[in-house]
Structure 1
C-alpha cells in the first residue's frame, strides 16, 4: 500500500468520523463530505456497548466518551410497577465498562473534535453529485461545484445512503419492519444506574437508559402503520397512552414530558446489501450496507468496528482493492449476524411469526449475543 492515500468519506456520522480519525492519524489525506450544516446529531441518547468502547479506546477518545456519558455494568429487568425481577451483569471486553450511555450530540462533538485534531477536513452542506471510477482512482464532483480525485470513496451515509443508490439503483431501499421507536430524554431517576427494562410481556416493553448523571432516555417500540406520524400537539400523550400499563419509574418519566416536540419518533427499517459492499474503489459501510433494528444496541458499534477494521485493512494490504476484499470478508459475517439476530428479537418481542433460521438465532438470545460481541472483531 502507498504510504498515504486520499480518502473521501461521504457522511459525518459515527462511522464516518471514526474512519476519518483513524485514517488521518495514520497520515492519510481525509475529507468528510457532510450534507448537514453542522454536526448536530439528531435523536436522544445512544448505548455504547463494550465493543463500541473498545473502538473508542483505539481511537483515543474513550475518556472523553466516559466523561460525557454514564457507564454501567448491570441490566435490570423489572415488572410494570418497576419492581426488580432480575439483575444481569453484562459482559466486558478487556477491562472496559460493560456499556456507556451517552447523548448523541455529545458523541458527535467528541468524534468531530477528534477528526479535526487528527487532521481530517469536514466539509458541511455538500453531497456527491457525480462519481467516475477509472480503476486507479475516483473523480468526484460535489454539490458545491468542486471536483477532486480520490484513491477511495467510503459511503458512511446512513440507511438512506445516496451512494448506495448510485451503486445499486433502488435494489436495496430501506425495508420498513412494521415497527417504530419512540424515545424521549427525561431527568435520570436515581435508581436507574444502568439500563432498566420494564416489561409487560408482549403487551409493551419500556427501556430507561442513563446517558449522563442528570439525564436518561425512555424508549419503547410499537407496531405502527408505515404512514403513521405522531400528532405534533400531543405526541407525549400518545406515548403515555401506549405505555399506560406501567407505573413506577416509567410512569414517573412520562410525567416529566410536557413538550410533545421532545418525543423522537423513528420508523425501524432494515437494509441488507446482498451484493459486495464495494464496487471498484467505492465502498459502503455501517447502515448504508447493513442497517439493523436497535434490539442489540449494536448499530453504532458495528459502524465503528467497520471504520476501524477498514483502516487496519488498508494498513495491511498491498492495494486498495485487496484491502476492500479483506475488510468485507472480515466484517460481513459479524455485521449480518447482528442484523439477523436483532430482527429476530424484534419479531419475538412483538409476537410476530419467526422463521426456523430466526428460531435458531433466538436460542442464542440477547444475553448470549452480548457474550459473542465482546470477543475480538
Structure 2
C-alpha cells in the first residue's frame, strides 16, 4: 500500500514492539497500548534462534540484541552429570548469527527504544474498552477515555488475549498441558558457552542457557497439578528436589539459588485459534493466535516472524483485507507446525502417549527443526 496506515497495536510485548518498530520504520503511524504501567519483564532470559535474529536485523535491532546478550552456536546434549554426549552446531538464517541468549528485561527495553526511535508511541496503563469496525476503519475507545480511528488493530496481547475474547468469546481459552516451567537466573558457569541440555532419562530435563557474559538461566519442565503453586518460602527447595537426579553444572547452578524469590514458575498452556486470525480490520498475532509449549524455543520467534510478515504484507498488498489474508496464508502453516512439534516433544520427553501424527513429527527432532526454521518463509 502506498498510503501510510494508522495502526493500533494492543500489547507491548516482544511481538507488538517488533511490529511497531518495523511499521514505524516504513512510515506508518503506530501506537502501542499496554495495560501495564511500564514494560517490566520477568527476570529470566530468552533464546533468540537464528530466525528470530533475522527479524531483529530487519528491524535494525540485531546489534543491540547481541550487545545485550550472549551469542552462541553449539547446542550441547549432556548426561545428568553434565558430561557432553553430543555437540550440535546451530544453523544460520542468511547472515544472522545462529543463536543469542538475552535477559528478558534487556530485550523489553531495547525493543521499546527501537519502537520509539521508529516514531511509534507507547501508551501505558490502558487497554481497549470498546471498538467498532465499519469496514473502512476501526473506531477505538480506550479505558483511559481516549478515542481514535485506526486502519488496523493488531492483538499482540498474549495467551490470555482480551482481544481474542472480544472476537470469539470463550471458545479459545488457554489449554493447560499438565506441565510447568521452572526458571531461575544464576551466575554463568565458564563451561556454559551455549545451551547445555542435560537429560536424566525421560523423567527430567534441565537447560542451562547463557544470557550475558555474567549470567545464565536454569530451566526445567515437570508435570504439575493444575492448581500447584510453589510455596512462597520454599520454591527453591522444591526446584532442588525436582532436580535431585542431576549433578555437575546443574547442581552447581542450584547451589547459587539460596532463596525462593528468584524462582519463576509458569504453567505451560497453549492456544490454537482455529477460526481465521483476522476479522475485518482486527487481527490476532503471536501467542494470542497460536501459543506453543517452549520445547523448540520458538514462541517469541514465531511472534516476531508474525510481525515481519505482517509488515511485508501491508507493503505488498493493495488493501488491508488483502494484506491480512496474505499474512495468514503464510503464517498459519508454519506456526501450527511449530506448535504441533513442540507439544509432541513435550509428550515424548515426559513419557506421555503420542499420536501417529506426532510420531511422524518427532522424526524431525529438535536439531532437524532448527534447520527447517532457517529456511525462507
User: What TM-score, normalized to structure 2?
Assistant: 0.99
Matched with 2:175 is 175
**Alpha-carbon deviations, 1:146-175, whole Å to 9, x = none?**
111100000000000000000000000000
**Alpha-carbon deviations, 1:107-135, whole Å to 9, x = none?**
01111000000100000000001010010
SS across alignment from 2:32? strand
Contact 2:203/2:349 (8 A) holds in 1: no
Contact 2:43/2:185 (8 A) holds in 1: no
Matched with 1:12 is 12
In the TM superposition, residue 42 of structure 1 has moved relative to its aligned partner by 2.0
Return the alpha-carbon distance in structure 1 between the equivalents of residues 341 and 178 of structure 2. Answer: 17
Return the alpha-carbon distance in structure 1 between the equivalents of residues 81 and 324 of structure 2. Answer: 50
Return the alpha-carbon distance in structure 2 between the equivalents of residues 96 and 125 of structure 1. Answer: 35
Matched with 1:232 is 232
Return the alpha-carbon distance in structure 2 between the equivalents of residues 18 and 24 of structure 1. Answer: 10
Return the alpha-carbon distance in structure 2 between the equivalents of residues 361 and 6 of structure 1. Answer: 40
User: What TM-score, normalized to structure 1?
Assistant: 0.99
Matched with 1:99 is 99
**Alpha-carbon deviations, 1:260-290, whole Å to 9, x = none?**
0100000000000000000000000000000
In the TM superposition, residue 95 of structure 1 has moved relative to its aligned partner by 2.8
Return the alpha-carbon distance in structure 2 between the equivalents of residues 9 and 162 of structure 1. Answer: 13
Matched with 1:55 is 55
In the TM superposition, residue 194 of structure 1 has moved relative to its aligned partner by 0.2
| 1:303 maps to 2:303 | yes
Matched with 1:157 is 157
Return the alpha-carbon distance in structure 2 between the equivalents of residues 65 and 21 of structure 1. Answer: 14
In the TM superposition, residue 43 of structure 1 has moved relative to its aligned partner by 4.4
Return the alpha-carbon distance in structure 2 between the equivalents of residues 238 and 12 of structure 1. Answer: 32
Return the alpha-carbon distance in structure 2 between the equivalents of residues 209 and 187 of structure 1. Answer: 11
SS across alignment from 2:295? helix
Return the alpha-carbon distance in structure 1 between the equivalents of residues 181 and 200 of structure 2. Answer: 17
Return the alpha-carbon distance in structure 2 between the equivalents of residues 42 and 3 of structure 1. Answer: 38
Matched with 1:291 is 291
RMSD over aligned Cα atoms: 0.7
How many residue pairs get aligned? The number is 377
**Alpha-carbon deviations, 1:321-369, whole Å to 9, x = none?**
0000000001000011000000000000000011111111001111110
In the TM superposition, residue 2 of structure 1 has moved relative to its aligned partner by 4.5
Return the alpha-carbon distance in structure 2 between the equivalents of residues 99 and 140 of structure 1. Answer: 39
Structure 1 unpaired stretches of 5+? none
Return the alpha-carbon distance in structure 1 between the equivalents of residues 67 and 175 of structure 2. Answer: 36
Query: Which of structure 1's runs of 4+ aligned residues deviate more than 3 A?
Result: none
- What are the equivalent positions in structure 2 for 1:1-377 lying under 5 Å apart? 1-377=1-377
Return the alpha-carbon distance in structure 1 between the equivalents of residues 139 and 96 of structure 2. Answer: 42
**Alpha-carbon deviations, 1:243-273, whole Å to 9, x = none?**
0011100000001001201000000000000
Return the alpha-carbon distance in structure 2 between the equivalents of residues 8 and 138 of structure 1. Answer: 9
Return the alpha-carbon distance in structure 2 between the equivalents of residues 376 and 48 of structure 1. Answer: 17
